[in-house]
A and B are shown apart, each in its own frame.
Chain A
Amino acid sequence: MAARMKLKLKTVFVLYFMVSLMGLVYALMQLGQRCDCTEHDLPKERTISRLRGELHRLQEQMRKSEATKQPQKQPAKPSLPTIFVITPTYARLVQKAELTRLSQTLLHVPQLHWILVEDSPHKTPLVTDFLAKSGLSYTHLHTPTPKDRKLQEGDPSWLKPRGAEQRNEGLRWLREDRRAQQGADSQQGVVYFADDDNTYSLQLFEEMRNTQRVSVWPVGLVGGMRYERPVVEGGKVVRFHTGWRPSRPFPLDMAGFAVSLRLVLDNQDACFDGDAPMGFLESSFLQGLVTMDELEPKADNCSKVLVWHTRTEKPKMKREEALQAQGLGSDTAVEV
């Protein structure tokens, strides 16, 4: 009895073993073969790659449709004056956010070259990587503001003029770069000083593109008013409508004027005076370049607001600071 039992058990075991072995061999064979990925493949991965393919197809379609539109349009593109936008920037929490949304606006403007100048002794990786991914035509410069001209923690923003050195650096590069360029087209263009926290409408860039000397327009939310603007009579600027020190030579905001490249190149010494008293920074640059009656009014004889002097709040970091004091601050490897 016991022997037969043992025998039966033995066959069971052997059978079991054979089945297991066959299963194993089958699995190993499956491994060797090319996997039927659609089963194991996470549907998410598939959707993502499908969407990317779709996006690529759309971009191709866009390029093709523009290519067919080309013969209908006038061949004005090669001679479209380039807009050189000089933007000073400095490291602070909202820097990447500001640059991101500014670049999203600039990306819509054809023939635009962005000159981004960091207030820093060297180029930061944040800005370098950002510019590389932006899709814009750009030049990345840097120059530090001397200590005595820098705003200290707790200083009100109007205490010292900001960005003067950086804008001058932008002008310096532009003059040097254009000297090296050949051809009449390279001398055509407009220079605009765009701060990284303002808001620009797309129409503004088209208004400024054909500036012959210096063009001007209203700026919203500046000078303690809804807007500041040049007053135009008979197609000429006669005075300035501003609530603060209208006796300045040019009571304009940095965002309220653009200078033709020709004028910038012809006046090699024209630059911003970092020591100018508050509110006179713009005047320090424009004084040597142009007189009031030479100004070209844009934006429908200076009656429309196409640019706003918005300012971004400093984000509250109380909890972050508390955590950092405990050594539990957020991961600094995550770029904000």
Chain B
Amino acid sequence: MPKRRDILAIVLIVLPWTLLITVWHQSAITPLLATRKVSKTHPPPRIPPDESCSLQNRDIVEVVRTEYVYSRPPPWSDVLPTIHVITPTYSRPVQKAELTRLANTFLHVPNLHWILVEDSQRRTSLVSHLLQDTGLNYTHLNVETPRNYKVRGDTRDPRIPRGTMQRNLALRWLRETFSVNNSQPGIVYFADDDNTYSLELFEEMRSTRKVSVWPVAFVGGLRYESPKVNTQGKVYGWKTVFDPHRPFAIDMAGFAVNLRLILYKPQAYFKLRGVKGGYQESSLLKELVTLNDLEPKAANCTKILVWHTRTEKPVLVNEGKKGFTDSNVEI
């Protein structure tokens, strides 16, 4: 008899707790469901102009499109975090073309600040004029990578990965311009001048708190490389073939850093020398963040929003030794 009582007592104790645990588990999910419901009643996100006028007649649709198009760059917002895009560049025949189409992309992005760093002794007029003509918010810097005089031609020191000194200069500029106590929100993104960026990418990175990551197409000899994201939305590895055990097996175009983090860790720079191929990104990121802190974007790293395109070097055979075309004409 006492045994039955004990059993009854134990059941009476355990039952409410199990019920409570299951209830709390459920309640952990329902706020998310509630959020989804709430967000649906919010104003619909990012109405592209044509969608909002789909009910009206064709003429007005065209006019709205034209209006969207005319205003460039978009007006500055006091609320949106600024995206500081750091682009190293160097003189070569396709430079003006690359910067032109990159500028055409950036002109669609609100609150974008372009930090263009030339690999040159002096700031060239080609780049200065281009930047002025675009109307973008920009900063024009330059630093020359030391040439390797032992090798013939215009080759740079092969021990220093291309663009490193330029990116580091930009980081230094940011740290000198913005103070740690500065509350202006900003995101830092390293964009090379020959890649292709979708407009969606910039909106994805705007909400970076520490370091956000996403897949990049055409790197590492694959269709795309991507961070591995688990069901809890945390990055736990890298889906690459080339050395997936790097601390951060990611391309320069595959991550963005919150400006606050850059300012908070003023010693973090890209390592100049002694960096193995593919480890450049890690040399910076390991000073800033751990794997656990990474924020996956692009639908938990399942969408491609940036492509690591490379432009062919134009064959200038017909120029000959003396140059066939007028060198005063800028290309």
Contact = CB atoms under 8 A, between A and B. Distances in A.
Interface in A24-40: 24, 27-28, 30-31, 34-35, 37, 39-40
B90 interface: no
Top 5 A-B pairs, shortest CB-CB distance: A243-B318, A40-B31, A319-B221, A20-B16, A224-B318
B256 to A, nearest CB: 14
Contacts of B324: 225, 243
Interface of B: 2, 5, 9, 12-13, 16-17, 19-20, 23-24, 26-28, 30-32, 34-35, 38-39, 42-50, 62-72, 74-75, 77, 79-80, 93-94, 96-98, 100-101, 104-105, 107-108, 110, 196-199, 203, 206-207, 209, 215, 217-218, 220-224, 239, 241-242, 295, 302-304, 307-312, 314-319, 323-325, 329-331
A173 interface: no
A49 B42 contact: yes
Contacts of A94: 218, 307, 309
Contact of B80 (A55, A109, A110, A220): A55
Interface in A108-146: 108-111, 133, 135-137
15 contacts: A31-B27, A34-B34, A37-B31, A47-B207, A53-B42, A55-B110, A56-B43, A58-B80, A59-B47, A97-B196, A97-B309, A107-B69, A202-B104, A226-B329, A243-B324
A276 B130 CA distance: 38
Contacts of B74: 58, 62
A184 interface: no
B314 A221 contact: yes
A55 B304 contact: no
A4 interface: no
Nearest to A102: B101
A77 interface: yes
A13 B9 contact: yes
A293 interface: no
Interface in A68-120: 77, 93-94, 96-98, 100-101, 104-105, 107-111
A61 interface: yes
B316 A323 contact: no
Contacts of B105: 101, 104
A115 to B, nearest CB: 16
Given A65-B75, A101-B101, A199-B97, A27 B24 contact: yes
Contact of B319 (A20, A37, A224, A310): A224
A313 B70 CA distance: 33
A109 B43 contact: no
Given A40-B31, A65-B71, A97 B317 contact: no
Given A313-B312, A323-B241, A227 B329 contact: yes
Contact of A10 (B9, B28, B31): B9
A335 interface: yes
A135 B50 contact: yes
Contacts of A229: 329
A190 to B, nearest CB: 17
Contact of A335 (B77, B304, B312, B331): B304
A308 interface: yes
A213 interface: no
A318 interface: yes
Contacts of A61: 75
A179 interface: no
A51 to B, nearest CB: 6
B12 A52 contact: no
Nearest to B77: A58
A218 interface: yes
A224 B101 contact: no
Contacts of B242: 319
B274 to A, nearest CB: 26
Interface in A304-322: 304-305, 308-313, 315-320, 322
A334 B42 contact: no
A287 interface: no
Nearest to A203: B133
A229 B110 CA distance: 37
